[in-house]
């Protein structure tokens, strides 16, 4: 695992600044991603740099790596899990290798297949490739977006890096909040690609690559789960929807998962499993135990608040598979002390509260291992989120006469007493009715996010809103339209894979883990599993309100029945209570009227109302206040 950075002068001129000093400064901003070594390479109009965390080929795996005649060079952030098989195939085609690293297959794949090289790679990655003969640059990001890649054109330079903070070290880059990105943030709880929080800087979307040749910059998509070609490639494609077929597909999924875990256990440094006690991470842990020659190590986080604590389920799985298990407990006191620390390295605001336990878990795990496997991706691929069923429920709800909904049901739900329990009925019911009558995409993100677009007129100042465009969900609508003919569940899964998974879940895991130099791997995001899941009939994944049916069947003989039968809970934290307790001083400090008026972004009176209602127990505004608090913490670290 590493971090990359660099730039290219689009007009081919020499830079007016000290290129070596600038490149080192950019790499120093991401030294946490790669504390073991540094790689720098300068040509007349291009500069490529990287920081390395040594995982594979500890002795000769430094970068850049080259082809035989050193006309193609690559710097990689990530892991290529099928590199041994690809290397053997390339050697049969008379390619010669100088190292034992996974990165070295890339320049040879480019020689052999050009821009089709992605078809031959199974991994998580962001890389820069320089073709010296053609004076051609390629920047690429993996299929699901496990590894980040930012870029921007400033003056004559296209500049890129694994994290925003590295771009900010380049003298050509300015920092100014993108108003549209901030509106997206408060609606989604994250900034979706291609936007970034800074104007002029973009995120390369997952499954895309960018090329620069001459002064021409071009971006293309190389893989799409909703394309006919990808669906046809999925081994789940079958019109025969019988019990026999379901069992057959479950067996195929079991084999795919087993192989995906096996491939991700390859490491020259200590390795462990992030175990929450949910079915996804538990399945990964069970397969890891089967493939390992020695007892595997599992790690989990517990909470002092009982309704949020899942540690007993993690211990149940650990006992079942015979792992060496370690856990740590999170308290409000510890969470409060972590927030300022998180604000110092979270280079875009991200209002997913599970960032805190994820970071604490990563810091805890890093004391023992350098690589950890997790269960990310299972919910999106196999319809594990309650919202997928809730969309069907919303369609039924809309058939109830309007006078009953507006005059009886909705007022009764709004009067439910506020509860601070994890995913309480009150919380779910109120969020359901607030969005049930919206269109599919708006409803989905209103359930997920903090501030629905109609609240923006109250939240933001008129002066700030004047800088923004109207349709916050335009990108999500475009994505949903590509899968709309397959039904609402598939469409929302596809949107989540491209938005929520890539820019919230995987961003959260990457930043939290990389802050402590821990590499994380996600077997569910093996492209073979993605294609398999996308091609499955919906009823193999979701039936009634029960999701992940085929995954549970695939894991039936691996895990205790209690794990397979327990409902979805999520990696939540008790935000509502913390905001009125240990974190109240932070709320009072960062959301106070004087500060907000000086910023000129948010309406102080509306924010004051949210704080007062939450603290008095009149309403639960935990998501909204958390979103604003995280943004203010980010501002203090990146806008001063």
Q: What is the pLDDT of residues 289-330, one digit of tens each?
A: 999 989 999 999 887 777 667 889 999 999 999 999 999 887
- Residue with more model confidence, 489 or 573: 489
Q: Cα(636)–Cα(629) distance, rounded to whole angstroms?
A: 11
Looking at residue 435, its pLDDT comes to 74
The alpha carbon of residue 87 and the mean position of all alpha carbons in its chain are separated, in whole angstroms, by 29
pLDDT at 253 over 90: yes
**Could you tell me the two tokens for 441?**
């995409």
Write the pLDDT tens digit of every residue in 528-541.
999 999 999 999 99
**What pLDDT, on the 0 to 100 scale, is given for residue 525?**
98
CA 254/CA 251 separation, integer angstroms:
5
Q: Which residue has the higher pLDDT, 288 or 37?
A: 288
| CA-closest candidate to residue 550, choices 279, 293, 337 | 279
What pLDDT shows up at residue 116? 97
Is residue 27 classed as helix, strand or coil in its secondary structure? Answer: helix
pLDDT band at 11 (very low <50, low <70, confident <90, very high): confident
Q: 342 versus 250: which is more confidently predicted?
A: 250
Whether the Cβ atoms of residue 475 and residue 523 lie closer than 8 Å to each other: no
Alpha carbon dihedral 554, 556, 560, 563, in 10-degree steps, equals 60
Residue 194 has pLDDT above 60, yes or no: yes
Q: What is the mean pLDDT of residues 630-637?
A: 92
| Three-state DSSP class for residue 328 | strand
Model confidence band, residue 74 (pLDDT cutoffs 50, 70, 90): very high
Q: Report pLDDT for 567.
A: 75
Angle, helix 622-638 to helix 179-188, in steps of 10 degrees: 140
Query: What is the rounded average pLDDT of the residues 18-47?
Result: 90
Average pLDDT over residues 101-119: 96
The Cα–Cα gap between 69 and 548 comes to: 50
Burial of residue 589, with CB atoms counted within 10 A of its CB: 0-12 exposed, 13-18 middle, 19 or more buried? exposed
Q: Where are the beta strands (DSSP E) in 162-292?
A: 201-203, 208-213, 216-221, 271-274
pLDDT the model gives residue 157: 93
Query: What confidence score (pLDDT) does residue 36 get?
Result: 84
pLDDT at 145: 97
The reported pLDDT for the residue numbered 33 is: 92
Per residue, the 3-state secondary structure of 542-575, as one string, reads CECCECCHHHHHHCCCCCCHHHHHCCCCCCCCCH
Higher pLDDT, 392 or 92: 92
User: Do 381 and 524 touch, CB atoms closer than 8 A?
Assistant: yes
Quick: pLDDT tens for 582-616: 888 889 999 999 999 999 999 999 999 999 998 88
What are the backbone dihedrals phi and psi of residue 158, each rounded to the nearest 5 degrees, phi first?
A: -95, 120
For range 369-389, the mean pLDDT? 95
Which is nearest to 359 in space by CA: 198, 502, 520?
Answer: 520
Of residues 130 and 637, more confidently modeled: 130
Residue 348 in tokens? 């875009």
The Cα–Cα gap between 520 and 355 comes to 14
DSSP string, 424-468: -HHHHHHHHHHHTTS-HHHHHHHHHSSS-GGGHHHHB-HHHHTTS
Is 158 buried (19+), middle (13-18) or exposed (0-12) by CB count in 10 A?
A: buried
Residues of the chain with pLDDT > 70: what percent? 91
pLDDT value at 423 more than 70: no
Residue 309 contacts residue 303 (beta carbons within 8 Å): yes
Distance CA 605, CA 460 (A): 11
Q: Which of 41, 47, 30, 43 shows the shortest CA–CA distance to 65?
A: 41
On the question of pLDDT at 368 being above 70, the answer is yes
With beta carbons less than 8 A apart as the criterion, state whether 175 and 188 touch.
Answer: no
Q: Which of 295, 4, 259 minimizes the C-alpha distance to 122?
A: 259
Give yes or no for a contact between 569 and 386, defined as CB atoms under 8 angstroms apart.
Answer: no
Between 431 and 620, the higher pLDDT residue: 620
pLDDT: is 480 or 63 the higher one? Answer: 480
Cα distances from 351 to residues 28, 363, 374, 611, in angstroms, run 27, 20, 21, 17
CA atoms within 13 A on the CB side of 610: 27
Terminal Cα distance for the chain, rounded: 30
Token pair, residue 96, equals 């010669």
Q: Which letter does DSSP use for residue 405 in this model? A: I
- Using the structure block, give the residue that is written with the tokens 């494609």: 237
Cα 340 to Cα 227, 336, 352, 572, distances in angstroms: 43, 8, 15, 19
Q: Are 324 and 296 in contact (CB under 8 A)?
A: yes
Q: Is the pLDDT of residue 367 over 60?
A: yes
Q: How far apart are CA 279 and CA 378, in angstroms?
A: 9
Q: What value, to the nearest 5°, has the Cα angle with vertex 566 and ends 376 and 378?
A: 20
Q: What is the CA radius of gyration of the chain?
A: 24
φ, ψ of residue 299 in degrees (nearest 5)? -140, 140
Element (H, E) at 324: strand 324-330
Predicted TM-score (pTM) of this structure: 0.93
566 C-beta neighbours (distance < 10 Å), count: 15
Q: What is the mean pLDDT of residues 257-267?
A: 95
For residue range 429-484, list pLDDT tens digits in order. 777 777 778 889 998 998 888 998 889 999 999 999 999 887 899 999 999 998 86
Confidence of residue 53 (pLDDT cuts 50, 70, 90): confident
Q: Which of 151-160, 403-412, 439-448, 576-585 has the highest mean pLDDT?
A: 151-160
- Mean pLDDT calculated for residue range 196-224: 96
Looking at residue 67, its pLDDT comes to 95
**What is the mean pLDDT of the segment spanning 344-364?**
90
Report the chain's mean pLDDT, rounded to a whole number: 89
Q: Is the pLDDT of residue 239 over 70?
A: no
Would you say residue 527 has pLDDT above 90?
Answer: yes
Q: Three-state DSSP class for 13?
A: coil
**Is 189 in contact with 623 (CB distance < 8 Å)?**
yes
């Amino acid at each position: 695992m590493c971090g990359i950075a660099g730039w290219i002068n689009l007009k081919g001129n020499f830079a007016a600044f000290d290129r070596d000093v600038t490149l080192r400064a950019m790499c120093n901003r991401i030294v946490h991603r790669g504390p073991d070594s540094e790689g720098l390479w300068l040509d007349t109009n291009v500069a490529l740099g990287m920081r390395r965390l040594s995982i594979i080929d500890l002795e000769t795996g430094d970068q850049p790596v080259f082809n035989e005649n050193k006309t193609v060079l690559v710097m990689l952030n990530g892991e290529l899990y099928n590199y041994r098989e690809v290397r053997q195939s390339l050697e049969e085609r008379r390619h010669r290798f100088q190292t034992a690293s996974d990165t070295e297959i890339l320049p040879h794949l480019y020689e052999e297949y050009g821009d089709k090289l992605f078809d031959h790679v199974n991994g998580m990655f962001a890389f820069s490739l320089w073709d010296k003969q053609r004076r051609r640059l390629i920047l690429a990001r993996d299929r699901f977006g496990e590894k980040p890649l930012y870029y921007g054109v400033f003056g004559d330079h296209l500049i890129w890096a694994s994290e925003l903070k590295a771009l900010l070290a380049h003298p050509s880059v300015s920092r100014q909040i993108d108003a549209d990105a901030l509106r997206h943030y408060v609606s989604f709880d994250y900034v979706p690609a291609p936007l970034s929080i800074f104007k002029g800087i973009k995120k390369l979307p997952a499954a895309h690559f960018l090329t620069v040749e001459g002064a021409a910059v071009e971006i293309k998509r190389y893989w799409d789960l909703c394309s006919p070609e990808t669906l046809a490639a999925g081994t789940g494609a079958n019109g025969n929807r019988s019990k026999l077929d379901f069992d057959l597909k479950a067996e195929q999924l079991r084999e795919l998962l087993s192989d995906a875990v096996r491939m991700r256990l390859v490491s020259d440094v200590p390795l462990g499993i992030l175990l929450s006690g949910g079915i996804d991470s538990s399945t990964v842990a069970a397969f890891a135990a089967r493939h390992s020659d020695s007892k595997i190590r599992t790690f989990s986080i517990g909470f002092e608040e009982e309704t949020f604590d899942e540690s007993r389920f993690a211990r149940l799985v650990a006992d079942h598979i015979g792992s060496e298990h370690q856990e740590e407990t999170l308290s409000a006191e510890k969470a409060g002390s972590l927030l300022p620390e998180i604000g110092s390295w979270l280079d875009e605001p991200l209002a997913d509260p599970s960032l805190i336990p994820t970071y604490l878990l990563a810091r805890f795990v890093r004391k023992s291992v350098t690589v950890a496997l997790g269960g990310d991706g299972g919910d999106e691929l196999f319809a594990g989120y309650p919202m997928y069923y809730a969309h069907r429920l919303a369609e039924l709800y809309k058939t109830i006469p309007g006078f009953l909904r507006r005059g009886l049901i909705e007022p009764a739900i709004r009067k439910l007493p506020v509860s601070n329990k994890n995913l309480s009925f009150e919380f779910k019911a109120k969020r359901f009715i607030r969005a049930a009558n919206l269109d599919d995409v708006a409803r989905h993100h209103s359930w997920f996010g903090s501030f629905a677009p109609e609240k923006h007129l109250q939240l933001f100042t008129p002066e700030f809103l004047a800088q923004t465009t109207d349709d916050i969900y335009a990108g999500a609508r475009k994505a949903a339209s590509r899968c709309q003919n397959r039904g609402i569940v598939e469409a929302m899964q596809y949107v989540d894979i491209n938005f929520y998974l890539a820019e919230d879940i995987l961003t959260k895991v990457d930043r939290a883990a990389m802050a402590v130099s821990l590499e994380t791997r996600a077997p569910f995001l093996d492209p073979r599993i993605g294609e398999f899941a996308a091609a499955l009939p919906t009823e193999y994944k979701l039936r009634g309100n029960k999701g992940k049916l085929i995954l549970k069947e695939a894991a039936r003989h691996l895990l205790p029945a209690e794990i397979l039968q327990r409902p979805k809970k999520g990696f939540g934290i008790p935000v509502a209570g913390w905001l009125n307790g240990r974190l109240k001083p932070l709320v009072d400090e960062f959301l106070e009227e004087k500060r907000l008026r000086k910023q000129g972004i948010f309406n102080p009176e509306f924010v004051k109302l949210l704080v007062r209602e939450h603290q008095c127990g009149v309403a639960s505004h935990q998501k909204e206040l958390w979103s604003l608090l995280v943004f203010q913490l980010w501002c203090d670290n990146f806008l001063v």
